[in-house]
Amino acid sequence: MKAQYRRKLIDGVESVVGDIVNEIIDKYYSDKVETDVEYERILYSIARQIKQEVFANKATINDVINYLAKLRNKRSVAKLVLSYMIARALEENVSSEL
């Protein structure tokens, strides 16, 4: 069940802001994100961060997706916020490897 939830979350984030995330990764983090697994880990982390920070851990998949859709309407803000979240995701990943 958890794997199915995770897949829906990753797919939802990818469909709404995947192009912006790809653009940011290509521009700033291409040396740190080389596989699909790493990319999906970042997408999941973005959703988790939104759930924690915006909704105090009380969000559904649709809440997260709707938030990202609203964020996308302000592309420059979306780039800034997503860049921060990607950096945090990469930092978490490095910390967990230590």
- pLDDT, one tens digit per residue, over 43-81 is 999 999 999 999 999 999 999 999 999 999 999 999 999
Contacts for 28-32 with beta carbons within 8 Å, 24 or more apart?
28/83, 28/86, 29/86, 29/87, 29/90, 32/90
Q: Count up the domains in the chain and report the number.
A: 1
**How far apart, in whole angstroms, are the C-alpha atoms of residue 44 and residue 90?**
12
Which among 18, 36, 38 is positioned nearest to 89, based on CA atoms? 38
Question: Which residue range forms the structural domain that includes residue 47?
Answer: 2-97
pLDDT of 15 > 70? The answer is yes
What global pTM score does this model have? 0.91
Instruction: Provide the pLDDT confidence category of residue 98 given band limits of 50, 70 and 90.
Output: very low
* DSSP-based helix, strand, coil % in the chain, nearest 5: 85, 0, 15
